[in-house]
Homo-oligomer: A and B are copies of this chain.
Amino acid sequence: MPVRLDTPDAASLYPVAGVRLGIAMAGIRKADRRDLLLVELAEGTSVAAVFTQNRFCAAPVTVAREHLSVGSIRGLVVNTGCANAGTGESGMVNARRMAAAAGSALGVPASTVLPFSTGVILEPLPIERVEAGLPAATADLREDNWHAAAHAIMTTDTVAKAASERLDIAGNTITVTGIAKGAGMIKPNMATMLGYVCTDAAVEQTVLQDMLRRAADVSFNSITVDGDTSTNDSLVLAATGRAALPGINAGDTPAAVALYSAIERVCIRLAQAIVRDGEGATKFISIAVAGGRDRDECRKVAYAIGHSPLVKTAFFASDPNLGRILAAIGYAGISDLDVNRIRVHLDDVLVAEHGGRAASYREADGARVMQQDEITISVDLARGDATATIWTCDLSYDYVRINADYRS
């Protein structure tokens, strides 16, 4: 059951001029399920992307990287039900066929289409079904189809994930709208996570890529459900340039800063939605680490806490077994950490200081906070000015059930 998460209604997802989306039920793994998404991008759209760091990356990731390096991108095609990963040479052939078929459907070259797949690993992609489904997806292409598109990319997600903003930049209305999927195998760099964010602003490609890198760092690369990194993670940011606002050619102009803020907010909402819908999640946990020498060590501490199955099961049980948090900080890999200086809060409750439980701590206060479905763990390392925040969820029976049953 997701933690305080609903799909935004269709009317709140603003169309982005220059982006049309079409979906279909292609029967890739199961019948009567929306499992194919085609996205048409207007000519002149800038496209930036970041991909999984997994060495076993999926065939579509390899093909998408190739196509991005060639030049302008006019289309995206996404299937669920099969990840086309661990599929060797035939997987590459199928990923290329998928891009070519989508290119034909859109009337653009295969090399201008990025293919994406998500689902079970190590099984061959039924490419014929993808090809057979594309005419229906093409017939469905519409600018106001984001809501259906968010549903078409779901796998173990229980809630479709989307976010949208309109903002005014120098008197022009600019739109940023995005969708994402992912609920398990979630970890930085990145997750079984697909995200597509579009804006009608015009942004030069290298500026757009930098915006995406920065936004991904504080959103999709700051979450964890189970510590696993997928073979297929991909995040795309497209800027169609159909708005009247003059083109953005540098990252530090007022227009660029305003646009980046909106992109970052949309990415954070999508990333948090993935955690809120984390497999079996009953609690949404923010882990805020401050006082580090650098951001990297703050993230190490945050992820040591966020990955600990012992911490996560304690949160599931609403049990303020806070020693498990201290233990996780202790093994985060910071060799010269002085544990006597660390302060740990659970929301507003001071839990630990001077190397042990805070004198003021009362179990009833910890228990009160643990009952909430949204909780912040704050850790002050007291050795510098750096900070980092990540988001995670608890570990419940349902995580085991979902992942034990996934293929059945």
Seen from chain A, the residues whose Cβ lies within 8 Å of a Cβ on chain B are 53-57, 83, 85-91, 120-123, 184-185, 187, 226-231, 307-310, 313-314, 316-317, 319, 321-324, 326-332, 334-335, 337, 339-340, 352, 354-357, 395-397, 399-401, 403-408
In contact, A228 and B331 (Cβ under 8 angstroms): yes
In contact, B406 and A395 (Cβ under 8 angstroms): no
Residue of B88, B319, B339, B354 touching A404 (CB-CB under 8 A): B319
In contact, B397 and A401 (Cβ under 8 angstroms): yes
In contact, A327 and B121 (Cβ under 8 angstroms): yes
Residue of B nearest to A404 (CB): B317
Chain B residues in 8 Å Cβ range of A91:
355-356
In contact, A87 and B327 (Cβ under 8 angstroms): no
Dominant SS among interface residues on chain A:
loop
Residue of B nearest to A317 (CB): B404
In contact, A327 and B227 (Cβ under 8 angstroms): no
In contact, A89 and B403 (Cβ under 8 angstroms): no
For the complex of A and B, 8 pairs with smallest distance between CB atoms:
A121-B323, A56-B330, A88-B356, A122-B323, A317-B404, A313-B403, A229-B331, A54-B330
Chain B residues in 8 Å Cβ range of A226:
309-310
Bound-complex Cα distance A405 to B330 (A) = 23
Residue of B nearest to A406 (CB): B321
Residue of B nearest to A338 (CB): B55
In contact, B330 and A231 (Cβ under 8 angstroms): yes
In contact, A122 and B356 (Cβ under 8 angstroms): yes
Residue of B nearest to A120 (CB): B323
